[in-house]
Amino acid sequence: MTSPSIDATPDNSRVAAASPPALPDRLPALTKTILAVLMIGAFVVILNETAMNVALSRIMSDLAVTERTAQWLTTGFMLTMAVVIPISGWLLQRLSTRGVFTLAMSLFAAGTAIAIGSPNFTLLLVARVVQASGTAVMMPLLMTTVMELVPLHLRGRIMGTISLVIATAPAIGPTVSGVVLQFLSWRFVFVLVLPIALAILFVGRRVVPNLDEPQPVRLDVLSIPLTALGFGGLVYGLSLVGNPTVPGWELSAVLAVGALALVAFLVRQLILQRQDRALLDLRTFQRPAFTIAIAVMAVVMMVLFGSIIATPLVLQQVLHLEPLTVGLLLLPGGLLMGLLGPVVGRLYDRVGPRLLVVPGAIVVGGSFAIYATISTATQWWQLLIANVLLSLGLAFMMTPLFTSAMAALPHHLYSYGSATIGTVQQVAGAAGTALFVTIMSTVGGRAAAAGEAAEAALATGARTAFLVVGLVWLLTVVGGLFLNRVQPVADSAPAL
């Protein structure tokens, strides 16, 4: 009887069959092209949002309008964004992907063209509203497309690249505008943008695919005015906080109308989502990971937009630096935040959100420690260091927060999740601006009344604002401790 032979050599075919297939480390070329077009488009439209801040004084002189009137160019932009972004979730389902892209970039390009030739302030304001309508759709479109095209194991690094758009564009907008205004008219802020927008529209029409079939989703007519009064009223009211020319009753009335309309809007969506007819589906908040990430993100956006307002004011009115110099001093922080985006994205893919968000929040707290010492004796390089630290910390927070929030959602809630994130950005940004301005003006006004010089009074107000916001910032450290790596319900990224 012969014994069967035993082969000690492992069956490589069986081992290979039992092992999971290696995940690709790179995206297909077509996917890279699509995302590049969308990211460049988003960068241009978001940069334009803050580029106007530096140009307002020139526009006031050229079109003979007051400061309060000119401020509507930024307030109107924010209001339009706050109203249109909640509707973008419906748009992304109702239209094809290419159709939404074409609509967004066409509106932005049309608004830019109108702004170039605007003979008066009214038409320029209309141009900004048209621009904002396109801008409001681009970021939800970009984030939804990433969730559709990018596999789970690569989303961190791609979201990191997106953070370059989200963080760098508003930060360098004033710098670009300052350089243009140093040599040319304010109209050239729009002239330089228009050919880029048209080129992106032309290329995008050819490469952006239709990822999903349009769905015949009904638009709830009642939700639209509630959106306008709720989000728009809240953003407008927050923009009025700290403005000494606004009567107290007007501010209270606007905020009250906005709050009541917002409550009505939320109740309306809770009712409609039972039939899958909500304009903004709130079932995204049933995912704890999404809710925590959004809450921390709201505080991050408050600080980002508030510091964009407060830091230039201190540099100009306390340290008496020229606008161009101010823009150049703020440039390193903005570039650092953007360049670190892909790096942080790769780290997120390896370690998850908590080990990035908590240290980042601590670094931002360190920047507040410097900002809280502002005085007339402060040197420009001290504020440069504080701004770089702020940007460094935010860079380690934004990518994990965006990625964690979207990864927590199932496929059918992607469009609503990206719309919710965009809405939170606008409202939180307005709240942060209002908080900084209110504290600075109130405390600074009291200091001036007590006999302090104008520069010293403003420094006192800024110091107090950063100290108060620094205390609020502690909430992000606590929230970051509750962030965990999220496994999405389904990963349905198609291969392109």
pLDDT tens track for 268-315 = 989 988 887 888 888 899 889 899 999 999 999 888 778 877 887 788
Closest to 96 in 3D by CA, of 218, 212, 217: 212
Length of the chain: 496
Q: Report in angstroms the alpha-carbon separations of 469 from 299, 329, 371, 473.
A: 9, 22, 11, 6
The whole domain housing 247 covers 28-480
Q: Is residue 215 part of a domain?
A: yes
Number of domains in the chain: 1
| Residue 482, φ and ψ in degrees, nearest 5 | -95, 0
Which residues have a Cβ under 8 Å from the Cβ of 9 and sit 6 or more positions away? Answer: none
Question: Is residue 37 within 8 Å of 207, Cβ to Cβ?
Answer: yes
**Cα 304–Cα 310–Cα 315 angle in degrees, nearest 5:** 125
Q: Is residue 291 part of a domain?
A: yes
Q: Is residue 314 part of a domain?
A: yes
Q: How far apart are CA 218 and CA 302, in angstroms?
A: 34
Residue 452, domain CATH: 1.20.1250.20
**Cα 41–Cα 42–Cα 43 angle in degrees, nearest 5:** 90
Q: Is residue 1 part of a domain?
A: no
pTM over 0.85: no
- Write out pLDDT tens, residues 303-354: 877 887 788 778 878 888 876 787 788 778 877 877 787 788 888 888 889 9
Which residues have a Cβ under 8 Å from the Cβ of 150 and sit 6 or more positions away? Answer: 27, 31, 35, 158, 493
Q: How far apart are CA 266 and CA 263, in angstroms?
A: 5
Q: Is residue 111 part of a domain?
A: yes
Instruction: Tell me the one-letter amino acid at 419.
Output: A
Which residues have a Cβ under 8 Å from the Cβ of 74 and sit 6 or more positions away? Answer: 52, 53, 56
Question: Is residue 277 within 8 Å of 218, Cβ to Cβ?
Answer: yes
Q: Is residue 486 part of a domain?
A: no
What pLDDT is attached to residue 267?
93
Query: What stretches in the chain show pLDDT beneath 70?
Result: 1-25, 53, 67-68, 163-164, 166-167, 171, 242-243, 323, 486-496
